[in-house]
Amino acid sequence: MKKGLLLAGIAGILYIGFLHIKIIQHSKEVHSKDTEYLIVLGARVKGYVPSLALQARIEAAADYLRNNPKAIAIASGGQGPGENITEAIAIKEGLERLGVEGNRIILEDKSTSTYENISFSKKLIPKGLKKGLIVTNDFHVYRAKMIAKKYGLDLGGLPAETPRMAIVKSYAREYLAITKFYLTSVL
């Protein structure tokens, strides 16, 4: 029995290590400079104020868009409990404050999960645009790209920094979410 528990513990540690390596690999990828569109994934809004995680996504997207004036953004995210505006509106307002023209931002304001963010945003990609990036926090890029692939989108990742105070919680939740993704993809 002790050997079984020991083996299970070792297997668990190896599995978490594997997931962590995949997350890090995808958060360090070099993204293309000729991207035509970004899908900026929503995250929690506190009243009218973007959470630190969402603010980091907004800043990463704004930086890219200011340096790539032909690219457009799809701001994706609905409205959850405790949110006075949709996540999409918070993204749009944040991008505009950081110098991105409003006519370069498309709103997807109905989604409530990463799956819906991507599925609903896919329908809003202007015809003819092929090269896209998904903007999310670094811990989330790997799974977001896998979900996008499931919906027929081959997106690169544009990682935003994860706020320090949220690193442990974010990674722990992401290990579980990736495991769920793997299991639902197989079954």
| Closest residue by Cα to residue 65 from 57, 73, 56 | 73
How much of the chain is helix, strand and coil, in % rounded to 5?
Answer: 55, 15, 30
Q: What is the pTM of this model?
A: 0.93
Domains of the chain: 2-186 (3.40.50.620)
Taking residues 19-43, what's their average pLDDT? Answer: 91
| pLDDT tens digit sequence for 130-146 | 999 999 999 999 999 99
